[in-house]
């Protein structure tokens, strides 16, 4: 039988080794991904994500012509980025919207399989009812037969933003 003090020492050593291995195995300073999205009309998209979805505008920044070219982000075209988040924490995902004032060169998708690249985001919500009310008030089309009950009290709803990015909303109705 292992004595309690010995067991504690063994567990503490194992925890320290796990923590050290985790810290050494990651290359990243943050576990949050900031996502940049090019949209046709930034004001229209900001309105959708704030008034319909419920994100908060938390800031923004600009990249001038020289900076765009030097960093490889653009071929010298300046751009302004609006930053949205779901919450106020430092680790909340940043949804960074930018526009170059022109529509997409590909058709708007009707389904996920219609294009490659990032097609959708999933937002887990506390209650769908207030979001569904905003969706209806802003004449945003619900896709498929949503909302539908996934199981228990969890519902799934699907909409598209003004540029066609699919937005999954998952949570209880109330």
pLDDT tens track of the chain, all 174 residues? 445 444 344 444 445 444 555 555 689 888 889 999 999 999 999 999 999 999 999 999 999 999 999 999 999 999 999 999 999 898 999 999 999 988 888 888 899 898 888 899 999 999 999 999 999 999 999 999 999 999 999 999 999 999 999 999 999 999
Backbone angles phi, psi at 67, to 5 degrees: -65, -40
Per the structure block, which two tokens stand in for 31? Answer: 């576990």
**Cis omega before residue 161 (within 30°)?**
no
Cα 73 from Cα 104, distance rounded (Å) = 17
Question: What angle (nearest 5°) sits at the alpha carbon of residue 29, between those of residues 27 and 31?
Answer: 90
Which one-letter DSSP state was computed for residue 134? Answer: H
Domain 32-103: CATH superfamily, name plus number: 2,3-Dihydroxybiphenyl 1,2-Dioxygenase, domain 1 (3.10.180.10)
Matching CATH topology for 32-103 and 105-174?
A: yes
What is the domain partition of the chain in residue ranges? Answer: 32-103, 105-174
CB 84 within 8 A of CB 36: no
Domain 105-174: CATH superfamily, name plus number: 2,3-Dihydroxybiphenyl 1,2-Dioxygenase, domain 1 (3.10.180.10)
């Amino acid at each position: 039988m292992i004595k309690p003090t010995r067991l504690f020492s063994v567990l503490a050593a194992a925890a320290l080794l796990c923590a050290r291995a985790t810290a050494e195995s990651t290359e990243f300073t943050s576990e949050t991904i900031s996502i940049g999205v090019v949209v046709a009309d930034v004001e229209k998209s900001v309105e959708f994500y704030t008034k319909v979805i419920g994100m908060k505008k938390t800031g923004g920044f600009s990249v001038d012509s020289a900076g765009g070219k030097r960093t490889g982000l653009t071929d010298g075209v300046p751009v302004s980025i609006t930053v949205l988040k779901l919450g106020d924490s430092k680790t909340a995902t940043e949804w960074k919207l930018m526009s170059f004032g022109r529509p997409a060169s590909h058709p708007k998708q009707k389904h996920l399989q219609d294009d490659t690249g990032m097609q959708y985001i999933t937002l887990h919500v506390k209650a769908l009812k207030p979001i569904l009310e905003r969706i209806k008030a802003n004449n945003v089309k619900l896709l498929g037969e949503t909302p539908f009950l996934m199981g228990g009290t969890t519902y799934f709803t699907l909409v598209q933003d003004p540029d066609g990015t699919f937005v999954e909303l998952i949570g209880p109705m109330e």
